[in-house]
Amino acid sequence: MPLIPIRQYGDPVLKARTREVEEIDGALVGLIESMIETMYAAPGAGLAANQVGVQRRLFVYDAGEGARVVINPRIVESDGEWAYEEGCLSVPGLSWEIVRPNAVHLVGLDVDGNEISIEAEEFEGRVFQHELDHLDGVLLVERLQEEQRKEALKILRGRALDLDAADPDGLSSLFAR
């Protein structure tokens, strides 16, 4: 299956809420297979459809037990709190400690259209929450505390403008003439 380019921070497709999958057909199965290959090649633990430009509610993941897919996922319960260093394929090379619920109960469909119900905690639960955020148009930068978010946005703006990482606001290069 062909690899699909992963959309990066700043791409408007990452900010839009995705639409429910209404039919599981051959095209969707092909997309899922390509997403799995893309996720492994990146490498990552999860990949939401909108990260490859497809506005549908599905994600693929591998939390250590092989690749899986969840179509039209919803978290119906969450509990506890867990801080963990979290990164994102759409914000490559950066990660931050983010606090999320420790345990979640996820429901959705598998690739055959069967209902699934998964209770997950720690890493697997975090993957579910991260990918669901993507499907809702929320990037991990929005989960940061205010000071972290300011610093992250400064770095990301610098990347968008192709500024030196040591000079993310561009001031040094402006006044070094």
Would the pLDDT of 87 be above 70?
yes
From CA 75, how far away is CA 1, in angstroms rounded? 30
Structure-model confidence comparison of residues 176 and 44, the more confident one: 44
Model confidence pTM above 0.85:
yes
Is residue 103 within 8 A of residue 80, CB to CB? The reply is yes
Same domain, 118 and 35: yes
- Structural domain of 117: 12-144
Strands 82-88 and 103-109: unpaired
- 84's CB contacts (< 8 A; 6+ apart) are 97, 98, 100, 122, 123, 126
Residue 4 lies in a domain: no
What is the pLDDT at residue 75? Answer: 98
| Active-site position among 65, 131, 142, 146 | 131
CATH at 129: 3.90.45.10
Residue 138 lies in a domain: yes
Would the pLDDT of 168 be above 70?
no
Residue 114 lies in a domain: yes
Tens of pLDDT, residue by residue over 13-66, are 999 999 999 999 999 999 999 999 999 999 999 999 999 999 999 999 999 999
**Could you count the other beta carbons within 10 Å of the beta carbon of residue 11?**
13
Same domain, 38 and 117: yes
Tens of pLDDT, residue by residue over 123-158, are 999 999 999 999 999 999 999 989 988 988 888 888
What is the pLDDT at residue 124? Answer: 97
What is the pLDDT at residue 162? Answer: 67
From CA 56, how far away is CA 18, in angstroms rounded? 5
Residue 7 lies in a domain: no
95, β-bridge pairs: 87
Same domain, 91 and 177: no
Is residue 85 flagged as an active site residue?
A: no
The two structure tokens encoding residue 93:
């090379």
Same domain, 174 and 88: no
Give the pLDDT mean for 161-166. 59
Domain count, the chain: 2
Same domain, 42 and 30: yes
